[in-house]
Amino acid sequence: MAAPRVLSPDDGSRVTPIRAPRETMARMGDLAVLPVFLKLDGKTVLVAGGSAGTAWKAELLAAAGAHVRLVWAEPDAEARLLAADWPGRVTLFERNLVDGDFAGIAVAIGALEDDAEAADFADLARARGIPVNVVDKPAFCDFQFGAIVNRSPLVIGISTDGGAPTLGQAVRSLIETLLPAGFAGWARAAKAWRPRVSHAGLDAGQRKGFWRQFAAMAMARPHEPPCPVEREAMIAGIEQAGPATRSGHLALVGAGPGDPELLTLKAVRLLREADVILHDDLVGEGILAFARREARKIHVGKRRGEASCHQGDICDLAVLLASEGNRVVRLKGGDPLIFGRADEEIAAARAAGVPLTIVNGVSAAMGAAASMATSLTLRGVARRLQFITAHDERGLLPDSLDWSAIADPDASTCIYMGRSNLATTMACAIAAGLLPDTPARFVINATRPDEAVIAASAATIAAEVAACTQAGPGVLLLGCAFAADQPKAAAALPMALAAQ
């Protein structure tokens, strides 16, 4: 990567400090419990009965391949039926628990109503170093059972740390509706195929490519598991293509104005597939959580008046990483094609011969209008929509702005990066003919939990924004469409409706 550039403008304008791209770590948030999956096949487990949940816990453990030692002095009919159905897997002892029942077991489960009995059971297990669970008594548990989605060997466990089992069951039901039962066949195929793929002579990149194809096929046809013929065809295709098939790729992805739910499905897919993510300052909280944990995250943010990465360095880094065979996502706030300097990154990718994908995002103006439940256009009033920036490379108003277009009463104008120059912008627009009472809405942190909307007129919006202490990126929406109570808009609406 080239050394960071330092701007030295000779026009006396402000110089933005330059910083190099830096790798960031998305640390794991606090976990109430650690999800683990126990291999119990062929191992002995103890279930001490005494409550309605005893037989169910015994069945669950037996389904996982364990030999269940079920001790219950007065078993119910369900426990007897379970032992009869699974002889050799579930052995029922109709007596009280004794110390010898703990010999040679992997885990101990107590379904005991009395707290004193539960405490004694837990103490006996822990004294022997045996993990223990007492049903519905978290204080005596070393581990917990969660709600289970069974697509074995694909198994999903859901825990609420004992706080809300009903919520866990609701989440399980939701996942089951989204995860077809046919995925079990794909999971079985993956388990059966892994030795063949591991010994097929493919390198690490090719093996990863095989399993990516496999996962894509599973998502496309979950109810139709693959056959060995397809496996061999996939291996042959990868072998024929050779190691060069692990070519890199660059995707310019719009992160939207902040709300993670506004990401497109394609954006989420690319984030989950990415090896490296180059993200800027305006990416909303929670969006990077869609990425794989092992993906590299590199901060390449640019903010006015703060230490910022030079655009040339970002282009160089994106191309270098993709040229090394990585799937690179350049993650930008809003839409990458609207004042995101995408043209420079597109040119760099094309010059280097790097495959390129562009994924649109919800732009800040669109997100702001949706949050306010207002339209960007208004039939009969706002016939034209324009996006402009009030910020050039010097941090000043661009010299080439068409003030007559901004003053056009039939236009809705969305002004990006205009907070610092807002007073000058409004003064110039009014001088060019913009009506001073034109509705103006300045939206800070659009679509985010801390969104703030400042409503004023063209003549007063700059003072209102200057008095606001809310930090964050802002966009100005200017025009009659942004206030239906304005005289011109109110008069035009009946005529527009009548013309429909």
Active site residue ranges = 280, 302
CA 196, 198, 199, 201 dihedral sign is positive
- What is the four-CA torsion angle of 36, 145, 158, 292, rounded to 10 degrees? 0
d(CA 367, CA 482): 14
The secondary element (H helix, E strand) that includes residue 328 is strand 327-332
At position 10, the amino acid (one-letter code) is D
Q: What separation in angstroms does the CA of 68 have from each of 65, 117, 447?
A: 9, 20, 53
The shares of helix, strand and coil residues in the chain, as percent rounded to the nearest 5, are: 35, 20, 45
Please state the length of the chain. 500
d(CA 61, CA 40): 8
Q: Which residues are registered as beta bridge partners of 155?
A: 150
d(CA 403, CA 412): 13
Q: Report residue 340 CA to chain centroid gap.
A: 21
Q: Are 210 and 226 in contact (CB under 8 A)?
A: no
d(CA 105, CA 38): 13
